[in-house]
Amino acid sequence: MRWCAIGLALVVLAGSAAWAQGPSAFVDVPPWHWAFDAVQQGSTAGIFTGYPTADSELVANALVQVYEAFAHAGHPAARGWAEWFLTNTPTQWPQPLQRSRLAGFTLEDLRVQVNADRARATFTATVAMRTDGGQSTLRSSMEAQAEKNGSGHWRIDYSTLVAGQPQLFR
């Protein structure tokens, strides 16, 4: 029993250490997903690896992951997850994330244009926001800018999200 507890503690610590370094090769599996720990462990052990994707797919994924973080703002890893996919956050960060009332979202007609290490995404975002009286829905035509950092990770410019949906990203 003691060895089982020690083994379990090591697995938990390994998962925490892996997250501190950022997402695994599976950048579409957020920390609150039911399979996150298994994916991290399998990836770390070399059982499976991430899949190669085009820059346009990685930009689209970064955008989705930012919305995912805002939808799961109460999760302990939401801040780190959002920051992994964002650039140009405001000086009052992480208050906008902590105030999030996003209950759900859909991103439609997502189109990404990549030019070297910069990208532009246009899409329609429908968000369901929790209110004191229940829920309200907001639909917006959006444009977001993204840039690839020195490590090859695509990050969404937060200020472009605020411009399109200030009710959510304020």
pLDDT tens figures, 51-61: 657 899 999 99
Query: Rounded to whole angstroms, how far apart are CA atoms 55 and 115?
Result: 10
DSSP 3-state assignment of 145?
A: strand
CA-closest candidate to residue 143, choices 123, 119, 165:
123
What is the per-residue pLDDT for 5? 43
Name the pairing type of β-strands 154-157 and 86-87.
parallel
Q: How is the chain split into domains, by residue range?
A: 1-52, 54-170
Q: Specify the fold of 54-170.
A: Nuclear Transport Factor 2; Chain: A, (3.10.450)
pTM: 0.79
What is the per-residue pLDDT for 110? 97
Which residue numbers in the chain have pLDDT < 50?
Answer: 1, 3-21
**For the chain, percent helix, then strand, then coil, each to nearest 5?**
40, 30, 30
